[in-house]
Amino acid sequence: MRLVSSGGLRHIAFIMDGNGRWAERRGLPRRFGHSHGASKFKEIVRYCGDIGIRYVTVYAFSTENWSRPEAEVDTIMGLLSDYLDDCEKTAEKDSLRMRFIGDLSRFDDGFRSRVKSLEARTSGYRNSLTVALNYGGRDEIVRACRELSESGREITEDSLGDALDTSGIPDPDLIVRTAGEMRLSNFLMWQSAYSELYFTDTLWPDMTPAEVDRAVADFFSRGRRFGGVKNIKDRSDG
Ligand code: FPP
């Protein structure tokens, strides 16, 4: 696949769905699906960087996911903690600007301070990976409105965009959801206003670079007009 970032595709966001079904279809406990999903996530993020995607965002844990059985929540939290360990070891080699969005107040001080220091340590890298944790699009908008109202600022599209967790990150050009469901499930509700959506039946642990290529090719076949009449190929970084 050619490098794509110059063609108007800077940001891909992934809804990594289907881990549980992948395991269940193999007669395995769901945790195996999540651990395969976590490995797949690393491979796909690397591939996106290789083909020139500058921004990647993943939906790792939603505000609703706490309602899963405690053992499953613990598995996912364990994988996230392992991932943080890896990032701390390989941040310079990976050369990725790490960001974490979502309401991190639900996590303990130790976890939050690790996240903050990783964000600070990687803030100079050009390519960026954003991990959504305890994230809900509606919750994010409510927190942003509350922040604006407490600081007495006027609510406009710009000020609200700045108050969101994703401030400074361009809106996703393409949102890819695996495992067959065709909905956004409270992911990037504000930011997805003009995103192209790509749905595949592939379960997340079976995701491949070839499937990313298909999503990218599909993206480039669409006419993006942003409410206007012309196909707008590229927009500035803002
Ligand atoms: C959806 O599959 C997936 C999740 C709720 C968790 C996503 C987590 C990972 C990929 C692993 C940890 C992530 C990182 C960033 C290290 P599902 O369980 O809803 O699948 P199902 O719909 O088939 O049940």
Active site residue 17: yes
Query: What does DSSP say about strands 11-15 and 55-59: parallel, antiparallel, or unpaired?
Result: parallel
pLDDT of residue 6: 52
Q: Residue 14 belongs to what H/E stretch?
A: strand 11-15
The runs of H, that is alpha helices, within the chain are 19-25, 30-50, 70-94, 109-121, 137-150, 157-163, 209-220
Give a yes or no: residue 184 inside a domain: yes
In the numeric block, the tokens 């749905």 are attached to: 199
Active site residue 85: no
Residue 110 CA to residue 2 CA, distance in Å, equals: 41
- In 3-state terms, what secondary structure has residue 101? strand
Give a yes or no: residue 152 inside a domain: no
Give a yes or no: residue 62 inside a domain: yes
Residue 50 CA to residue 30 CA, distance in Å, equals: 30
pLDDT of residue 232: 56
Task: Walk along the chain (238 residues) and give the pLDDT tens digit of each residue.
Answer: 666 755 689 999 999 999 999 999 999 999 999 999 999 999 999 999 999 999 999 999 999 999 999 999 999 999 999 999 999 999 999 999 999 999 999 999 999 999 999 999 999 999 999 999 999 999 999 999 999 999 999 999 999 999 999 999 999 999 999 999 999 999 999 999 999 999 999 999 999 999 999 999 999 999 777 777 766 554 444 3
Residue 153 CA to residue 36 CA, distance in Å, equals: 45
Give a yes or no: residue 91 inside a domain: yes
Which residue has the CA at smallest separation from atom 1 of ligand 1?
17
Tokens of 23: 């395991």
- pLDDT above 90 coverage of the chain, percent: 89
Ligand 1 pocket member 37 (CB < 6 A): yes
Give a yes or no: residue 44 inside a domain: yes
List b or e across 34-65, with b for residues whose CB sees 16 or more CB atoms inside 10 angstroms. Answer: bbbbbebbeebbebbbebbbbbbbbbbbbbeb
pLDDT of residue 212: 98
Give a yes or no: residue 177 inside a domain: yes
Ligand 1 pocket member 32 (CB < 6 A): no
Model pTM above 0.85: yes
Ligand 1 pocket member 41 (CB < 6 A): yes
Give a yes or no: residue 233 inside a domain: no
CA-based Rg of the chain, rounded to a whole angstrom? 18
Give a yes or no: residue 156 inside a domain: no
Ligand 1 pocket member 102 (CB < 6 A): no
pLDDT of residue 52: 96
- In 3-state terms, what secondary structure has residue 159? helix
What's the gap in Å between 41 CA and the centre of ligand 1?
A: 10
Domain count along the chain: 1
- In 3-state terms, what secondary structure has residue 210? helix
Which CATH number is 24's domain given?
3.40.1180.10
User: 167: Cβ–Cβ under 8 A, 6 or more apart, which residues?
Assistant: 161
What's the gap in Å between 190 CA and the centre of ligand 1?
A: 22
User: 236: Cβ–Cβ under 8 A, 6 or more apart, which residues?
Assistant: none
Residue 155 CA to residue 168 CA, distance in Å, equals: 18
pLDDT of residue 38: 98
Tokens of 201: 């039946």
- Domain that residue 69 falls in: 11-136+172-220
